[in-house]
Structure 1
Amino acid sequence: MRGLRSTAVLLVVALGLGAYIYFVESDRPPGGTPEPRDMAFDFESDDITRLSVTAESGDRTVLEKTDDRWQLVEPFAGAVDVTEVVALSSSLAALEMQRVVAEPEDAADLTAFGLGEPRIEVGVTTTTGTDARLLIGEQTPTGGDLYATVAGSNRVFLISGYLDGTFNKTTFDLRDKTILDFTRDQVDSLEITGADLAIRLRQVDNRWSLVHPIEAHADLGVTNGLVGRLSTGQMAAIEAESTDALESFGLDTPRLTVTVGLGSSAATLLIGDATPAGTVYARDAARNLVFTVSESLLTELEQGVDEYRRKNLFAFRPFNATALEIDRDDERWKFEKVEATAEGEADRWRRTAPDEGDVEPNVMDDLLGKLSNLRAESFVASRDGTGLDAPGWTMLVTFDEDGAQERVVVGRVDDEVFAVNGDEPGAARLNTRAWDDALEALDALE
């Protein structure tokens, strides 16, 4: 009887526990899922039409959005740093209260949280009727969060400490800081001039070439990299919003003048003296503003003409080559690609001189790969002493669907190898080992 009573008691307990789990625990979020936090505001970032930011430094900036375009309106009218403004507006719309410290009925003393005179103030106006100010005070004792309140609410809450850098923005932070205003797709020329420097490059059909002081193929990566840096480069600081005293910055007679050709127009950057801070004074010729830029930009702009020359000896790639001729030792070797005629077949290479015959695909690919990877380690201005007066090798490559051709001659003096592509001035000094590897690949075709 006692055993039956115990069993009944256990059954009642189990049923009660099951009912508790069903009716109580089922309403709780799954284990490991945090409770959703309250939002500080009820609007979307796209709803915001006006922002005012007073930084800890006292800098006050007002921004307004018209037709989805943000503009700076105070302390002066101008363009904005879109990335900074979007981050600011998005963070404001998504702002979560980490924890509520004091409710309005608590009548908390705001000065205890650094909110009597807040360090940072962000005002926001939206199309949905919001007109509010976020006040940010001191850090919590642990430094992980910040005390904040919405003006007039008397409700104190915590926000994540990393947001200090998001909301504590000066006018300089929020303004457009690009050094030149142009679109890279418009660029068709680049000119860099100074007391001892005069370099001009031209772009046609996405190919850059040097036109002064020499005519030669230009390095696509180097030239596009510099154009990209000029289009996205940022000011380090503002020195003067407007001034006629350009001589104090070395801008009356600029150290360098950089002109980016844009078809019928141009964007021009003037570089002046170095600053004590390790930056350089600069000015966009289209604006009165004087600012500073990184000294590394100046270093890049002052590089010599050889840095702009194409380092690859050839422009072709193994996959687009269609014919190859090589003259060496008074003998001409000729190879041509034969396109496949049946589905599933691969293109193949044939030797047509000095005798005819099929060529092993992997051996031909090895030769083409090693030739196309030949690069100039440096350049020499004169061909004297390069062996190019009586070149040991002459190569003619046909490539691309339009049948483009490149002719390269190679000379050797002792352990030094020199080459010239077409009519380019001077000569390229090649890596001797890389050239010897290419010769070994050619020998494998015999």
Structure 2
Amino acid sequence: MSLRGLLVGAVILAALGGAVWWSETKNKQDDTAKSDKEAPKIVTLKEDEVTRVEIRRREAEPVILQRGKDGWSMTVPTGTGSKSVRPDNESATSLVSSLAGLTSDRVVEEKAADLTSFGLNAPAVQVAVLSKDNKSKVIQIGDETPTAGGYYAKVEGDPRVFSLSSAAKANIDKSWRDLQDKRLITSGETNLSRVELVSGKGQTVEFGRSGQNEWQILKPRPLRADSWQVEELIRKVRDTKLSATATEEEEKTSASEFAIGTRVALVSLTDPSGAQTLEVRSKGQAYYAKSSVVETPTKVEKELADALAKSLDDFRAKKVFEFGFAEPSKVELQDNGKGYHFSKTGDKWWSNGKQMDGTSVQSLIDKLRDLQATKLTDSGSAQPVLLNITVVSAEGKRTEKAAFAKGPASWFGKRENESTTYEIDSKVIEEIQRAAADVKAPPPPSAPSAKK
């Protein structure tokens, strides 16, 4: 083929490609324009300017959401009037967001002469939205469309009738229960200062926060607490919510069963705003809870009752040492006349001026970290002390000392200046003794390989 023929062919191919591109682009633009025309927005609102939302149903008082400086408030119908119910701010914000960008599937009629055929002469649901400028929009929802995939809708004062998808309707057609804050306890998690647990038998255990995620037992007497257990108790209480599916009849049953039930426990959480309480009662094999925040009792899972029905010993710290994940900088053991002294400088461990193998020191530290009692008592051991352990951690800010005596079948340990006695399996102490004795100097560096 000649050069001229190749050039002509290339020009024709480029022209055809351009035509195809233009055609596809034009079709996409036409489709977009058509889509925008067929699916116009029903209303256009600015979310941050919405101050009030009313959800009205035929022959019922409206659900009213009102935005204030501290968030949303809600007024709901009761059958004999109305009452104030705390809304879930996230749900209220989501509702407003759905209203602000409410889009139809299509326009059914530009100017509907008869609204009866659409169920819009007396709408089943009306959602009125008020903005800061006191302008309101009322969205009216009528009958379901024949295809069962949507609903007829219009805006008061606008002659157009729209088709609204079922999903879009569900996003704005909310009952007050959908919008209710279902938490039974609203106390903050990080700013709690006190937790009090009263058992069904009247035993009171009180905890005080001593640091981030750290707790101490205050009552019945000052004791070390297992902070993880206290945090787990708080989590269980704060996660308890009203049933999202309970009917009015089921709520009445829960209230009557709670009233005659047997107390399992009463827990109180205190933060800077005050104390909130949650009481759990049992009736047969079922459990019910009522809080000081929500007037309605609700049915709860046995798991919550089990979390609250714990004794003092369940919350006491079983571990002898508290350094946890704060790496120690010094470890000392006096083992029946044998002395072991390990101190850390930088990332290296030393003993009596000699560098030690870090892996073997870490093995000892891990065993000390995991050292815990099989049983706690408040009576000491008559046996002589054979083992003393000191651990310094938190960059030298925390020093923990414990002394251990050997009994007939177990060892008994006590922390310095504490009355609690920790009964410990003999094998565990023996492993610590071996780990201390096994700390050694690091292996010599490998000799460089000979050059070939």
TM-score tier after normalising by the smaller chain length: 0.7 to 0.9
Q: CA deviation at 1:42?
A: 0.8
Q: 1:361 aligns with which of 351, 358, 364?
A: 358
Give unpaired runs (5+ residues) of structure 2.
Answer: 77-81, 441-452
Q: 1:150 aligns with which of 149, 154, 159?
A: 154
Q: Cα distance 1:48–1:310, how it changes in 2: closer, same or farther (>3 A)? A: same
In the alignment, what sits opposite 1:341?
none
The aligned runs of 1:410-429 (5 Å cut-off) are 410=404, 419-422=413-416, 423=418, 425-427=420-422
Contact 1:134 / 1:150 at 8 angstroms: preserved in 2?
A: yes
Q: CA deviation at 1:327?
A: 2.2
In the alignment, what sits opposite 1:442?
436
Pairs aligned (count)? 414
In the alignment, what sits opposite 1:373?
370
**TM-score with structure 2 setting the length:** 0.73
Contact 1:325 / 1:335 at 8 angstroms: preserved in 2?
A: yes
Question: What's the secondary structure of 1:267's corresponding residue?
Answer: strand
Q: Cα distance 1:87–1:140, how it changes in 2: closer, same or farther (>3 A)? A: farther
The aligned runs of 1:304-383 (5 Å cut-off) are 304-317=311-324, 320-338=327-345, 346-352=346-352, 357-375=354-372, 378-381=374-377
Q: Deviations over 1:73-93 (max 9, x none)?
A: 343234321121111111222
Q: Cα distance 1:330–1:15, how it changes in 2: closer, same or farther (>3 A)? A: closer
Q: Take 2:326 and 2:424, find their aligned partners in 1: how far apart are those partners?
A: 26
In the alignment, what sits opposite 2:176?
171
Question: What's the secondary structure of 1:235's corresponding residue?
Answer: coil
Contact 1:189 / 1:261 at 8 angstroms: preserved in 2?
A: yes
Q: Deviations over 1:86-115 (max 9, x none)?
A: 111112223333x21612347687656x66
Q: 1:282 aligns with which of 274, 284, 290?
A: 290
Q: 1:204 aligns with which of 181, 199, 210?
A: 210
1:259 and 2:273 correspond:
no
Question: What's the secondary structure of 2:83's corresponding residue?
Answer: coil
Q: CA deviation at 1:194?
A: 3.2
Identity fraction in percent: 18
Q: Deviations over 1:314-357 (max 9, x none)?
A: 2214654122111223322122223xxxxxxx3432224xxx53
The aligned runs of 1:32-431 (5 Å cut-off) are 38-54=40-56, 60-67=62-69, 69-74=71-76, 75-97=82-104, 99-100=105-106, 102-105=108-111, 111=117, 120-127=125-132, 129-135=135-141, 137-138=143-144, 141=147, 145-152=149-156, 153-159=159-165, 161-163=166-168, 165-196=170-201, 197-206=203-212, 207-213=214-220, 215-231=222-238, 233-236=240-243, 249-250=258-259, 255-262=264-271, 265-274=274-283, 278-284=286-292, 289-292=295-298, 294-295=300-301, 296-317=303-324, 320-338=327-345, 346-352=346-352, 357-375=354-372, 378-381=374-377, 389-390=383-384, 393-401=387-395, 403-410=397-404, 419-422=413-416, 423=418, 425-427=420-422
Question: What's the secondary structure of 2:183's corresponding residue?
Answer: coil
Q: Which amino acid aligns with 1:173?
A: D
Q: CA deviation at 1:210?
A: 1.4
Contact 1:239 / 1:291 at 8 angstroms: preserved in 2?
A: no
Give unpaired runs (5+ residues) of structure 1.
Answer: 339-345
Q: Cα distance 1:215–1:80, how it changes in 2: closer, same or farther (>3 A)? A: same
Contact 1:251 / 1:270 at 8 angstroms: preserved in 2?
A: no
**TM-score with structure 1 setting the length:** 0.74
In the alignment, what sits opposite 2:450?
none
Q: Cα distance 1:379–1:41, how it changes in 2: closer, same or farther (>3 A)? A: farther
Q: CA deviation at 1:273?
A: 4.7
Contact 1:314 / 1:371 at 8 angstroms: preserved in 2?
A: yes
Q: Take 1:119 and 1:111, find their aligned partners in 2: how far apart are those partners?
A: 13
Contact 2:200 / 2:263 at 8 angstroms: preserved in 1?
A: no
